[in-house]
């Protein structure tokens, strides 16, 4: 055994001295045979290989794509690589040197280059490549063009396996091979061409001929193109469903629907002098669209081509009989305010008449909300004296607040529910503080002020408002007889030169029972400044009685 070791040691020593200064034969670096070369010669050979393959990495796959080694942070250490190649057969103990020497002798001593790079850049580059080469599959589709059913065939997609491709890029960098394989696979579409062809065949059967619609002796035709225009194709798993779109079908059948539709006429009310006359209602007719379209949706896919259009009567919401039941027959309340107390050259009175006429004769249905602004805005008013921010000035619409306040009080006395009301800034002589209501149509800088009430009675109410020659404006509310009595009052809780404060009270009795008796609201009024700039304190403003 000792003799064998001595022989081996001698052989290794002889081999070492015979190859002194040169890399052992059979050693390769990045595919370059550097055996028998000096370190300098090997470095030149490896540098040449890296110059050829190390600067860029070509990606084998769809498209002509390559990655720049510098962008990946790749850096090769050629001297260190050659040092490792030179150490083959020389490093380690005698057995390790002998083993590596034998590997080199058989040409299997491959030394990878010493290289550094940024793995995150490699992954990011693979992701960027995927964005360029990935192709989503194209789903098969069906469409109707006129009377033709057109199928667009499906197409496979392509998807890059980013992690596997990045691994190949890393191997190419580490081996300085200059190329890497893209790893990818096809992506099958969810809806293939056979599914689209099946849906197209269904559509062709539905569109195979005219469809006849009849109602009595009248007849209409739906053409294949009109039927096709109403077809809807939608993905349903791996298939395509074929249905009829209701809106498109309604448009296609608009001619018979319009011809068979007669709008009902609602009953209504007219004033004939002081008499309230009910205008008669009239029954209409309408196509039962739900039944017709459900029948078409089922029948067309069964091959049926003829259909009877179902027609039903269409009753008005307010029939003559019902209008008679809801007819306002009794004067529920009346209120008046003195317009002669305000100095006027006739312009203000004309405004009162314009606004009063706008609400006079207005019928309000049960549950309906009446808006003063909706009825009196947008009319051609005169520029007269108005109160804006507590100051007298001239503007269009002077007098509208008196029309509003008068109606507001009549509505209260009728027992109806006031849902919006705003007091004036200052006390006014034509109505008692606390009983007033102002309106303002608003502008871009402010929210409108309105007076609204809801008809909470069981029947229609009629508003009558007019300007009389006796110096008063009257507001009247007519309705169904109601055993409701309302009492209103207001009184000051503070009255000084700087302001006044008023509490308004209401008592409501229905069917002999008091259902409310208490405070309705509290209001504060500032001094009035007339058009000459003179301040009129609240104690100096005339306070009319509740009812004049």
Which of 111-115, 132-136, 442-446, 492-496 has maximum average pLDDT?
A: 492-496
At 73-103, the pLDDT tens digits run 898 888 988 888 888 878 666 555 565 556 5
Residues 372 and 297 in one domain: no
Residue 147 lies in a domain: no
Residues 333 and 423 in one domain: yes
Per-residue pLDDT band for 4 (boundaries 50, 70, 90) equals very low
Phi first, then psi, for residue 260 (nearest 5°) are -95, -5
At 383-402, the pLDDT tens digits run 876 666 655 656 655 789 99
CA distances (Å), origin 63, targets 58, 157, 161, 164: 11, 15, 16, 18
pLDDT at res. 148: 95
Domain boundary among 324, 358, 373: 324
- Rounded distance between C-alpha atoms, residue 78 and residue 275, angstroms: 114
Number of domains observed in the structure of the chain: 3
Residue 57 lies in a domain: yes
Residues 6+ apart with CB under 8 A from 319: 267, 281
Residues 362 and 484 in one domain: yes
- Rounded distance between C-alpha atoms, residue 538 and residue 499, angstroms: 6
- Rounded distance between C-alpha atoms, residue 494 and residue 433, angstroms: 12
**Of 1-10, 143-152, 355-364, 534-543, the least confident:** 1-10
- Does the pLDDT of residue 16 top 80, yes or no? no
Task: Compare 14 and 381 and report the one with higher pLDDT.
Answer: 381
Domain boundary among 257, 289, 324: 324
Please state, as a whole number, how many other Cβ atoms lie within 10 Å of the Cβ of residue 247. 9
Per-residue pLDDT band for 506 (boundaries 50, 70, 90) equals very high
Residues 252 and 276 in one domain: yes
**Range(s) of the domain holding residue 314:** 194-324
- Rounded distance between C-alpha atoms, residue 126 and residue 251, angstroms: 52
Residue in 356, 358, 462, 359 with CA at minimum distance from that of residue 403:
356
Strands 56-60 and 179-181, sheet pairing: parallel
- Does the pLDDT of residue 263 top 70, yes or no? yes
Q: What is the DSSP string of 254-272?
A: HHHHHHH-B--B--EEEEE
Question: What is the percentage of the chain residues whose pLDDT exceeds 90?
Answer: 67
Residues 365 and 508 in one domain: yes
- Does the pLDDT of residue 13 top 70, yes or no? no
Residue 272 lies in a domain: yes
266-279: average pLDDT? 89
Residues 332 and 317 in one domain: no
- Rounded distance between C-alpha atoms, residue 454 and residue 160, angstroms: 69
**Of 99-113, 114-128, 282-296, 464-478, the least confident:** 99-113
Residues 107 and 26 in one domain: yes
Domain boundary among 324, 356, 385: 324
Helical (H) or strand (E) element with 308: strand 306-308
CATH number for position 312: 3.10.20.800
Encode 186-235 in three state secondary structure.
EECCCCCHHHHHHHHHHHHHHCCCCEEEEECCEEEEECHHHHHHCEEEEE
Residues 384 and 494 in one domain: yes
Residue 99 lies in a domain: yes
Residue 171 lies in a domain: no
Residue 291 lies in a domain: yes
Residues 366 and 503 in one domain: yes
Residue 236 lies in a domain: yes
The pTM of the full predicted model, rounded to 2 decimals, is: 0.60
Task: Compare 345 and 190 and report the one with higher pLDDT.
Answer: 190
- The whole-chain average pLDDT of the chain stands at 89
pLDDT at res. 198: 96
- Maximal CA-CA distance, the chain: 151
Residues 293 and 391 in one domain: no
Residues 483 and 516 in one domain: yes
Residue 277 burial (10 A CB sphere; 0-12, 13-18, 19+): exposed
CA dihedral 500, 339, 533, 421 (to 10 degrees): 50
- β partners of residue 27: 109
At 447-486, the pLDDT tens digits run 899 999 999 999 999 999 999 999 999 999 999 998 899 9
266-291: average pLDDT? 92
Residue 494 lies in a domain: yes
Residues 315 and 334 in one domain: no
Phi first, then psi, for residue 409 (nearest 5°) are -70, -35
Q: With H, G, I as helix, E, B as strand and everything else as coil, classify residue 534.
A: coil
pLDDT at res. 26: 83
At 462-472, the pLDDT tens digits run 999 999 999 99
178-182: average pLDDT? 90
Angle between helices 119-133 and 162-175 (to 10 degrees): 130
Q: What is the DSSP string of 443-506?
A: BTTB--B--EEE--SSS-EEEEEEE-TTSEEEEEEEES---EEEEEEEEEEEE-SS-EEEEEEE
- Rounded distance between C-alpha atoms, residue 41 and residue 38, angstroms: 5
């Amino acid at each position: 055994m000792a003799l064998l070791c001595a022989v081996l040691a001698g052989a290794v020593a002889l081999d070492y001295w015979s190859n002194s200064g040169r890399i052992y034969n059979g050693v390769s670096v990045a595919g370059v045979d550097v055996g028998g070369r000096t370190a300098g010669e090997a470095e030149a050979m490896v540098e040449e290989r890296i110059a050829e393959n190390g600067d860029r990495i070509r990606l084998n796959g769809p498209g002509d794509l390559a990655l720049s080694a510098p962008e990946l942070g790749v850096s090769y250490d050629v001297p260190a690589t050659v040092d490792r190649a030179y150490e083959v057969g020389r490093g380690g103990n005698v057995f390790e040197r002998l083993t590596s020497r034998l590997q080199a002798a058989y040409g299997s001593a491959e030394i990878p280059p010493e290289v550094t790079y940024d793995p995150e850049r490699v992954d990011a580059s693979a992701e960027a490549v995927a964005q360029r080469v990935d192709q989503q599959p194209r789903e098969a589709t069906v469409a109707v063009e006129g009377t033709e059913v057109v199928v667009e065939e499906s197409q496979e997609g392509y998807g890059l396996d980013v992690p596997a491709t990045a691994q190949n890029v890393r191997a190419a960098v580490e081996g300085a091979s200059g190329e890497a394989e893209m790893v990818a696979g096809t992506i099958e579409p969810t809806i293939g061409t056979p599914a689209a062809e099946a849906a197209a065949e269904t559509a062709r059967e539905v569109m195979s001929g005219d469809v006849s619609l009849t109602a009595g002796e009248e007849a209409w035709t739906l053409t294949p193109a009109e039927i096709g225009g109403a077809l809807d194709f939608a993905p349903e798993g791996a298939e395509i469903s074929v249905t009829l779109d209701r809106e498109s079908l309604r448009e296609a059948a608009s001619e018979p629907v319009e011809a068979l539709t007669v709008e009902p006429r609602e009953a209504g009310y007219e004033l004939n002098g002081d008499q309230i006359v009910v205008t008669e209602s009239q029954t209409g007719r309408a196509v039962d669209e739900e039944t017709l379209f459900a029948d078409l949706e089922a029948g067309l896919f069964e091959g049926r081509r003829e259909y009877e259009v179902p027609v039903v009567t269409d009753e008005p919401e307010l029939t003559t009989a019902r209008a008679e039941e809801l007819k306002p027959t009794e004067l529920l309340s009346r209120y008046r305010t003195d317009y002669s107390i305000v100095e006027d050259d006739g312009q203000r009175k004309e405004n009162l008449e314009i606004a009063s006429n706008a609400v006079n004769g207005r019928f309000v249905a049960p549950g309906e909300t009446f808006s003063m602004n909706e009825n009196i805005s947008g009319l051609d008013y005169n520029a007269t004296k108005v109160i804006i921010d507590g100051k007298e000035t001239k503007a269009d619409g002077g007098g509208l607040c008196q029309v509003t306040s008068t109606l507001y009080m009549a509505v209260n006395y009728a027992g109806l529910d006031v849902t919006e009301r705003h007091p004036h800034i200052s006390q006014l002589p034509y109505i008692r503080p606390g009983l007033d209501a102002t309106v303002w149509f608003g502008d871009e800088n402010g929210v409108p002020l309105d007076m609204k009430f809801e008809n909470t009675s069981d029947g229609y109410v009629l508003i009558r408002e007019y300007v009389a020659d006796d110096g008063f404006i009257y507001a009247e509310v007519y309705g169904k007889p109601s055993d409701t009595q309302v009492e209103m009052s207001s009184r000051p809780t503070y009255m000084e030169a700087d302001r006044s404060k008023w509490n308004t009270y209401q008592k409501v009795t229905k069917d002999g029972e008091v259902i409310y008796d208490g405070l309705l609201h509290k209001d504060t009024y500032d001094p009035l400044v007339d058009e000459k700039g003179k301040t009129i304190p609240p104690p100096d403003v005339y306070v009319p009685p509740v009812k004049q």
